[in-house]
Amino acid sequence: MSVNEEAVMQTSAGGKPERKRVKPGIIDCDVHPIPKSLDQIKQYMPKYWRDRFRGGGRGLFYNNPFHGMRQDSHPPGGGPAGSDPDFVRKQLIEPNNIKTAILIPRENSCQFPDLDYGNAIASAHNEWIADTWIGPDNPDGVFKSSIVINHSDPVYAAQEIDRWAHHKHNIQVTTDSGARFLLGHRNFHPIYEACCRHNLPLAIHPGLDGIGINILPSPGNPSHYIEWHTCMSLSFQAHLVSLLTEGTFERYPDLRIVLVEGSSTWLVPLMWRLDMEYKALRVEIPWVKKRPSEYLRDHVRLTSQPLERPENDEDLLQMLRMMDAEHLLMFSSDYPHWDFDNPKLAFPKLPEKLYNRIFFENAEQFYGLQQ
């Protein structure tokens, strides 16, 4: 029996014991912890920054016009959606058989011209998570978390990684896809060196593209949230092509990247095109030693939410096969956001092997979570 399978002994009608398979617990790769208030973050900031801190994010630009969170996910005792670990357990963890929830705080630190301000925000969020979600509120270790960094200051970001990498429940680093440079740029090398030094993947999450000092991946600014939200995968595509063609994975052979909440099925035509271009233009990038798509299995994973669902489920299953979802895709719910993917409903019926790979085996292996 696989180490990823569990079994219980039951007595059959004839009195003989028999094994009944129990579905293994899910690993959810994108759960967002929300502060109960700004004061929860301010307490970890020096007074100068505390007086200045007003939060961050897309603000008036590209927020959902109705609500950004599930309306049923506010804790009974009050507070924002996703702000009470106990309620997250009751609403997400327990009913969905989730054995590990990987937290990705959205601290929005990468948008500010004042780099010290952004660094203070990132640092305070790491303190808050350590004292709450992965501290006393995590007795069974179901919550694992991500070290947040301000990638606009790569040297300080590397120091923040060094500072928090020792925590047993920090299993990756995370930052925003909104940036001033494509992620293959040497500007980010200190971050990659720190990730490799501590054997931590780097998760890229959207949110600040075109906000503050960050550049949009499109020729201009979208007019509406629907445009911004539909096209947020464009930055992921540009960053991935940059990482592959700049030779990042040759320079850092232990570097692992997770593309979170940027959808996934775009990977197929993008890699077809990039591999085709590589055949003719590889003389321009001699440091890339093999076809770009051949780096994916060793270095890159994508999370499932938001999952495109065509009318014909067979079309999606075909796309999953073409994108090598068996090795590259990991389940994520994006709890408690408005477009949360219920693990019981997000996918059509999957073959058992593919289900196991997406819902727990790929993440177990990539994050080293095997027991």
Reported as type and span, the H/E element at residue 329 is strand 329-330
CA–CA separation, 294 vs 273, rounded Å?
A: 14
Q: What is the pLDDT of residue 1?
A: 36
- DSSP-derived 3-state class of residue 42: helix
Torsion sign (Cα): 298, 304, 305, 309: positive
What is the DSSP code (8-state) at residue 45?
A: S
C-alpha span between 67 and 186 (Å, rounded): 38
**156-197 residue pLDDT tens:** 999 999 999 999 999 999 999 999 999 999 999 999 999 999
Helix locations, the chain, DSSP H: 38-42, 47-52, 85-88, 115-131, 154-164, 189-197, 225-230, 233-245, 248-251, 267-281, 296-299, 313-322, 325-328, 352-356, 362-367
For every one of its 371 residues, what pLDDT tens digit does the chain have, with 9 covering 90 and above? Answer: 333 444 444 554 556 555 555 567 999 999 999 999 999 999 999 999 999 998 888 877 888 888 888 888 899 989 999 999 999 999 999 999 999 999 999 999 999 999 999 999 999 999 999 999 999 989 999 999 999 999 999 999 999 999 999 999 999 999 999 999 999 999 999 999 999 999 999 999 999 999 999 999 899 999 999 999 999 999 999 999 999 999 999 999 999 999 999 999 999 999 999 999 999 999 999 999 999 999 999 999 999 999 999 999 999 999 999 999 999 999 999 999 988 999 999 999 999 999 999 999 999 999 999 75
pLDDT of residue 6: 45
- pTM listed for this prediction: 0.93
* Domains of the chain: residue spans and CATH: 24-367 (3.20.20.140)
